[in-house]
Amino acid sequence: MVNVSHSHFVLDGFSELGALRPVLFVPYVLMLALSLWANSLLLYVVISQRSLHSPMYILIAGMACVDLILPLFFVPHMLLNFLFDWRGISLIGCLVQMFLIHCVGNFQSTLLLWMALDRYFAICTPLYYHDRMALTRFLKFIVPLVLRNVVTVLLFVSLAGRLSFCSRNVMNHCFCEHMALVELACGSTATNSLAGLLTLVLVPVADFIVITASYIVIFIFMPKSAGSRVKALHTCVTHIVVMIVNLNIALVALLSYRIRNRLPEASRVFFSTMYLLFPSCFNPIVYGIRTAGIRQHIGNTLRSCRLVRTGLK
């Protein structure tokens, strides 16, 4: 049973803006709309086109699914906060939101890891690619990482739920971020900080190390023929661009906590929201533009929609 004095919290992010705070509704609702539209379109194209039912495209669809779901866990509540000043959230609601955001968010780096493995098998062992990427064999790469993501997030969320909140219940954030909640606790929070650091090392850092090692091996053993080399490089660069952008945003969000005394609180909150929301807008655009099969089918789909609207008029 959770022993707390406060069971209700106030999400007070961007309070420094005062009367201008409701203006934030516009850019965030536009980014949410872009994320929902772009990822839904990408998912529709991959699901509806049988020619795209291969491991690489299925993994891209998996990333689109994560990018579609993740903003829904915090942006709608944040928009109501901006527009109607609905700042309250219960402790249980806070913990549930924290679990969903961090658990689903961790799969962004994990999917990039699976994509790196897919490219490794396709480029370095092409004769055995379909055998290695068969679901029964690929499950040995899927199941352990899924369990890792869920267990590590469940650990620090459970520890956060055991804290006591004696004096403060105002969180200078727009959603229930782990350390933003922990900072409100009275008593020692060393275990919570350690659990958060452990999750950071075991999930995004470990994924990044394996991804980097995979692409180094891929570039070493890349096919010698010019045509095959360009094709292999093109598919790899797309994933690397997404990885670099996601990593840079994550680093900026993390550093904003470490140098918070030198940054306005609003900047730290902004970087934290962008860490979750910007990749959801950016990733489907990159995959839609740089992946030839997807780009062609998206163009056909948009042209069909335009023709239907013209016919209705």
- Identify whether 2 is part of a domain: no
Sequence-separated (6 or more) residues with CB below 8 Å from residue 300: none
The arithmetic mean of pLDDT across residues 19-34, rounded, is: 94
- Identify whether 46 is part of a domain: yes
Position with higher pLDDT, 135 vs 72: 72
Rounded Cα distance, 102 and 156, in Å: 10
Q: Is the pLDDT of residue 3 over 60?
A: no
The arithmetic mean of pLDDT across residues 49-58, rounded, is: 90
The arithmetic mean of pLDDT across residues 30-44, rounded, is: 95
Rounded Cα distance, 30 and 34, in Å: 6
Q: Is the pLDDT of residue 27 over 60?
A: yes
The arithmetic mean of pLDDT across residues 247-261, rounded, is: 71
Q: pLDDT grade, residue 132 (50/70/90)?
A: confident
- Identify whether 4 is part of a domain: no
- Identify whether 147 is part of a domain: yes
Q: What is the CATH number of the domain that holds 147?
A: 1.20.1070.10
Encoded tokens for 300: 């056909």
- Identify whether 183 is part of a domain: yes
The arithmetic mean of pLDDT across residues 299-307, rounded, is: 78
pLDDT in tens, 162-218: 988 887 789 988 999 888 888 888 888 899 989 988 998 999 889 999 999 999 888
The arithmetic mean of pLDDT across residues 66-78, rounded, is: 95
- 54 by Cβ neighbours in 10 Å (0-12 / 13-18 / 19+) ranks as middle
Q: Is the pLDDT of residue 51 over 70?
A: yes
Number of domains, the chain: 1
The domain of 227 spans 20-312
- Identify whether 5 is part of a domain: no
Sheet holding 170-171, edge to edge: 88-90, 8-11, 170-171
On average, the pLDDT of the chain sits at 87
Q: pLDDT grade, residue 115 (50/70/90)?
A: very high
> For the whole model, what pTM was predicted?
0.89
Identify the pLDDT of residue 1.
41
Question: What is the percent of the chain where pLDDT is above 70?
Answer: 90
- Identify whether 285 is part of a domain: yes
The arithmetic mean of pLDDT across residues 37-47, rounded, is: 94
What type of residue sits at position 104? V
